[in-house]
Amino acid sequence: MDDKLNDLPCGFFTLTNAGVITEANRTLLNLLQYESGDMLHHHIEAFLTVANKIFFHTYFYPYIQLHGHVNEIYLTLKKKDGHEVPVLLNGVLRERDDQVYIECVLIEMRKRIEYEKDIVNAAKKLEELNKEKDAAHEALKALHKELEKKQEELTDLNRTLELQALTDGLTGVSNRRAFQECLDAAFAAFARSRNPFAMVLLDIDYFKRINDTYGHPVGDEILRRLTQELQAQIRSIDVLARYGGEEFAIILPGANRESAVIAAERFRKSIEEADWGEYRVTISLGAATVSEEDTAESLIAKADQALYASKSGGRNRVTHSED
Amino acid sequence: MNDMAASVFDRNNVRISGKGERPILFAHGFGCDQEMWRYVASEFEQNYRVILFDYVGSGRSDLNHYDPAKYGQLSGYAQDVLEIAKELDLRKAIFVGHSVSGMIGTLASIAEPDLFGRLILIGASPCYLNDVPDYYGGFEKKDIEELLTMMEMNFTGWASYLAPIVMNNPERGELAGELEKSFCSRDPAIARQFAEVTFYADCRRELDKVTVPSLILQCSEDSIAPKEVGDYLHAHLKGSTLKVMQAKGHYPHLSHPEETTRLIKEYLETEYA
């Protein structure tokens, strides 16, 4: 080997096609701290770690056989003292005198390999961070879903509460507050359409006596049954509300004086004729039909006065405020 | 050809040649593709129906079919071999498997013995890791780990393969193209998984289930599949013939194609004479 080749600024060696070293330049020997006799006629495997051997056999060898060259292969060679030298290697397949050879050059990769390892480590860390980020994202999504569910539950609860706030707990019909809202709505509709409506206030006759004689559970049961009875009598557009104690209010959209009285009379009769068992239950009613000058307060007052008139007139009867 | 066959053939880049009737399948090993058989397969075209293919992830297979769960074990690859054999309606086929393919073919033959007439195992190993004191595979776990790191470094080149970033980085597509040129395995992540599946596989318990007769071609100095491994296979495979080759190394079909071809032909001729 001439001096120029021997002292190239890179390692140079030749292998037989079976992998035996036939030439190695001084630069390579110095790098690995071998005498030329240590390397010549030895298989390249002798200078490779186990993993490098596998790599050599599974990649380097088949690839160079098929493509005639390999470029930028990273390998680790064993020095005489057992230390490892990372190198970057290029090889070509050459034919001389009917013999196939593999010629290789290599350079030491010491600094570059450290950078490379840093990059690999950074990449791995990044991958881990990405995984953590994804996991956190998933957790956040789960929390968000839970929040949505809770919000839905809250909305449902609100709806229930709202309903409860407008409903009478004992009888299940509208309470006084809901009645007030319906009455306001009826006045608003009246202002727009001039279509009349009426309201009826009714009261169970001698209810205090029933309560005192038979007890509150019986009184409550009568209130419930009365509600059912009235509900069966009213139209779907009518509003029945428990106004307080044993007092109920009904709004009758479209009712003038005459039809309000007919309806009220029907209510009275149905209660009187209903089967109350051992009890006798009747109601007194006061009806009032809206007029131009009326407000909610004045209409209620008129119905209340009519109811009072029915009471004082002997109970179990209907009075209209205009009677 | 039906759709199923077309999709299997595209998936595994199946190539068929030869004038004979008896089918012979050549299956490449880890880190390679069907090109590895170029000096050997052509020698069988006169008298056999020669079938070559690439495993999914290697050569010109369709990478879209790569499923990490399926190919996380050798049985996933064996399933593909069976699908190819069924689509070609093979009976008593000769399966020539190099390296890890030896075990893939062995697993396939256990699942469907009727499809295979003979197994020819070149440089095969049922288990690469040592299991002292009973078994010598040639490798320690740390060797395999070092290999995986080496592969990572070589596949990634000096620009480093940042797996999670590449996925979101279409402009790095040209790098993938370069990788494609540099090795037979086209995708670094797939190559790595194939390496793990190959070198961590342990098929020793499967060997006594094999009923198909086999020829074990053992290279005289193979540092991937050492002589002890060939002896182990011979001892545990019923109806196996062991031939120690003049050839040294792990690629007798590349380094010594004549000897490889001759031994396979001799075996088949005596067996079928």
B246 contact A CB<8A? no
Residues of chain A where predicted confidence (pLDDT) is lower than 70: none
Is A58's CB within 8 Å of B31's CB? yes
All residues at 6 or more sequence positions from A166 whose CB lies less than 8 Å from its CB, including other chains: A174, A175, A177, A178, A181
In a domain, B185, yes or no: no
Chain B, nearest residue to A127 by Cα: B164
Among A88, A110, A132, residue at a domain's last position: A110
With cut-offs at 50, 70 and 90, classify the pLDDT of residue B50: very high
Please report which confidence band the pLDDT of residue B1 belongs to, taking 50, 70 and 90 as the band edges: low
| Domain containing residue B267: CATH number | 3.40.50.1820
Say yes or no: A311 and A215 in one domain.
yes
Kindly determine whether residue A120 and residue B153, on different chains, have CB atoms separated by under 8 Å: yes
Tell me the residue range of the domain where A266 lies. Answer: 176-320
Q: Which of B158, B200, B219 is best to mutate for the A interface (most A CBs within 10 A)? A: B158
Per DSSP, what are the bridge partners of residue A253? A197
Tokens of B264: 């396979």
> Is A139 within a domain?
no
Q: What is the mean pLDDT of residues B242-257?
A: 89
Which of A246, A247, A292, A293 does the annotation list as catalytic? A246
- For residues B151 and A4, the model is more confident at A4
- Report the DSSP beta bridge partners of residue B121: B97, B216
Nearest CA of chain B to the CA of A47: how many Å?
13
> Per-residue pLDDT for B160 more than 80?
no
Catalytic residue list contains A246: yes
Q: Does B143 reach chain A within 8 Å, measured CB to CB? A: yes
Q: Tell me which of A282 and B190 has the higher pLDDT.
A: A282
Tokens 């690839």 — which residue? A63
Burial readout A134-148 (b: 16 or more C-beta within 10 A, e: otherwise): eeeeeeeeeeeeeee
Compute the distance between CA of residue B126 and CA of residue A290 in angstroms, rounded to an integer.
100
**In B73-182, where does DSSP find H-type helix?**
74-87, 100-111, 141-156, 163-166, 173-182
Contacts of A81 (CB under 8 A, 6+ apart): A33
A91: CB partners within 8 A, 6+ apart:
A60, A64, A69, A70, A73, A102, A103, A104, A105
Quick check: B165 and A123 CB within 8 A? yes
A82 and A213 fall within a common domain: no
Partners of A51 on chain B (C-beta within 8 Å) are 143-147, 149-150
Of A49, A75, A126, the CB nearest to B164: A126
What CATH number is attached to the domain comprising A23? 3.30.450.20
In whole numbers, what is the pLDDT of chain B averaged over residues?
86
Count structural domains, chain A.
2
Residues 10-49 of B with CB under 8 A from A: 29-32, 35-36, 38
Q: What phi and psi values does residue B227 have, to the nearest 5 degrees? A: -55, -40
Q: Is residue A121 part of a domain?
A: no
Residue A9 lies in a domain: yes
Q: Could you tell me if residue A158 is inside a domain?
A: no
pLDDT in the model for residue B32: 80
- In this complex, do B182 and A71 lie within 8 Å of one another by their Cβ atoms? yes
Which residues on chain B are in Cβ contact (under 8 Å) with A15?
none
Residue B149 forms part of a structural domain: no
Interface probe with A: pick from B180, B250, B256, most Cβ of A within 10 Å = B250
Domain boundary among the residues A110, A133, A159 is at: A110
Proportion of chain B above pLDDT 90, given as a percent: 63
Specify if B50 maps to a domain: yes
Position B186 scores a pLDDT of: 58
Band the pLDDT of B156: cuts 50, 70, 90.
Answer: low
**A277 and A198, same structural domain?**
yes
Sort out which chain B residues have CB atoms less than 8 A from A119's CB and list them. 160
Which residue range is the domain that position B116 belongs to?
3-128+204-272
Tokens (6 digits) for B33? 């593709």
Cis, bond preceding B133 (omega within 30 deg of 0): yes
Q: Is residue B159 part of a domain?
A: no
More confident position, B156 or B247: B247
| A193 and A314 housed in the same domain | yes
Give domain status of residue A254, yes or no: yes
From chain B, pick out residues whose CB is under 8 angstroms from the CB of A60. none
Asked if residue B178 is part of any domain, the answer here is no
A273 domain-assigned: yes
Whether the predicted pLDDT of B177 surpasses 60: no
Residue that is last in its domain, among A67, A88, A110 = A110
Instruction: Using pLDDT thresholds of 50, 70 and 90, give the confidence band for residue B273.
Output: very low
- Shortest CA gap B89–chain A (Å): 32
Q: Which residues of B touch A74 (CB under 8 A)?
A: 150, 153-154
Q: What distance in Å separates residue A25's CA from the closest CA in chain B? A: 25
* Rounded Cα gap, residues A3 and B202, in angstroms: 51
pLDDT at residue B30, rounded to an integer: 83
**C-alpha dihedral, B133 to B138 to B142 to B147, nearest 10°:** -160
What pTM value is reported for the model?
0.63
- Number of domains forming the structure of chain B: 1
- Is there a contact between A66 and B34 (Cβ–Cβ < 8 Å)? no
**Best residue in A16, A43, A54 for a mutation probing chain B (most B CBs within 10 Å):** A54
Please indicate, yes or no, if residue B13 is contained in any of the structural domains.
Answer: yes
Q: Does residue A313 share a domain with residue A186?
A: yes
* A126 located within any domain: no
Are B154 and A59 a contacting pair at CB < 8 A?
yes
Minimal-distance CA residue of chain A relative to B157 = A72
Query: How close does chain A come to B87, measured CA to CA in Å?
Result: 30
Tokens of A25: 């330049």
Flag whether A195 is in a domain: yes
Structural domain includes residue B66: yes
State whether residue A86 is helix, strand or coil.
strand
Q: What SS3 class is residue A114? A: helix
**Cβ pair A287, A306 in contact under 8 A:** yes
Asked if A212 and A303 sit in the same domain, the reply is: yes
**Residue B198 domain-assigned (yes or no):** no
- What is the arithmetic mean of pLDDT over B178-191? 57
Cβ–Cβ below 8 Å for A62 and B160: no
pLDDT class of B249 with cuts at 50, 70, 90: confident
How many distinct helices (H) and strands (E) make up chain A?
A: 11, 10
Of A251, A255, A206, which Cα lies nearest the Cα of A230?
Answer: A251
